[in-house]
Amino acid sequence: MNRKTLLSIGSALVAIGVMSVAGYGCGDDDDAVTKTDSGTTTPETSTPETGTPDTGTKNPAPPTLGAQIDRLGRPAVNTALNHTFDLNSAAKGAAKDAYNKDSTQATWGATYVAQTSANLAVLDGLDQDCNNQFLASKDAGAQNSNVAKYGTLGGVTADDRLWLDTAGATCTTYLAVEGQATGLIPNTDCGGRGLGYDVIDVTYSAAAIGNVTGVTDGITADTAKTGGVAFPFLAAPLTQ
């Protein structure tokens, strides 16, 4: 690029207020620009800042996450389907703690399906009918094992996640998404778990008689404590 071209570019930049010819330069160039000092000093003026002073307070760094201690997935799965009927209380407690600490979601189903299926086999007999549990195979074949008969629901429960349908028209039913996917309860509900849902009754009903109602633990939801309409959706404490 020749001197004439450089000066033309510099003049154009001055015209639009980007830079001055006197300050033009980028590395070594044979085409030096001569700067003339007029000897006149122009006083510098400035406008006082009106912004808020910096107090030096910064947002704290996000905390480092510790080890997982609970899954917070579907309620009662760990309680009712994981080493539920073990006689050794210490071994039972250790197994339930290990279940809650297991964060390897990709292997949940394979790891726990044998255990959940074995306990589903017990729950299926609560009404003395071992063929009416939801998704239980009516013909388990020659192997006739717990996994062969109860493995479908056993795998669903072992993959212990709570599902939501954000396009749901209403939100009134626990296990609604799972029920819709498997044909148990066709619906357009968003699913999830509301504070007023009797989730234990639904769980035991599905495991014992293949329905979402019909089996109860005899404990009803305390609507006086779960009847709030704004976050955190808990009613005010009762007063004496």
In this structure, are residues 103 and 133 in contact, taking their beta carbons and an 8 Å threshold?
no
Quick: pLDDT tens for 194-210: 888 889 999 999 999 98
Least confident of 50-54, 147-151, 206-210, 224-228: 50-54
Binned at pLDDT 50, 70 and 90, residue 53 comes out as low
Does any domain span residue 191?
Answer: yes
Residues 111 and 142: their CA atoms lie apart, in Å, by 24
Q: How many structural domains are present in the chain?
A: 1
> Which pLDDT belongs to residue 9?
39
Does any domain span residue 154?
Answer: yes
Residues 115 and 96: their CA atoms lie apart, in Å, by 11
Q: Which residue has the higher pLDDT, 21 or 200?
A: 200
Does any domain span residue 108?
Answer: yes
Average pLDDT over residues 92-114: 94
Quick: pLDDT tens for 57-101: 788 899 898 888 998 889 889 999 999 999 999 999 999 999 999
Does any domain span residue 26?
Answer: no
> Which pLDDT belongs to residue 183?
81
> Which pLDDT belongs to residue 58?
84
Cite the DSSP H helix spans in 16-88.
77-81
Does any domain span residue 199?
Answer: yes
Does any domain span residue 88?
Answer: yes
> pLDDT over 90 for what percent of the chain?
32
Structure tokens at 40: 């006149």
Does any domain span residue 15?
Answer: no
Please, which residues bridge with residue 170 across strands?
Answer: 189
Domain range enclosing 139: 77-218
Give, in order, the Cα–Cα distances in Å from 232 to each of 71, 83, 147, 197. 20, 33, 40, 16
> Which pLDDT belongs to residue 194?
83
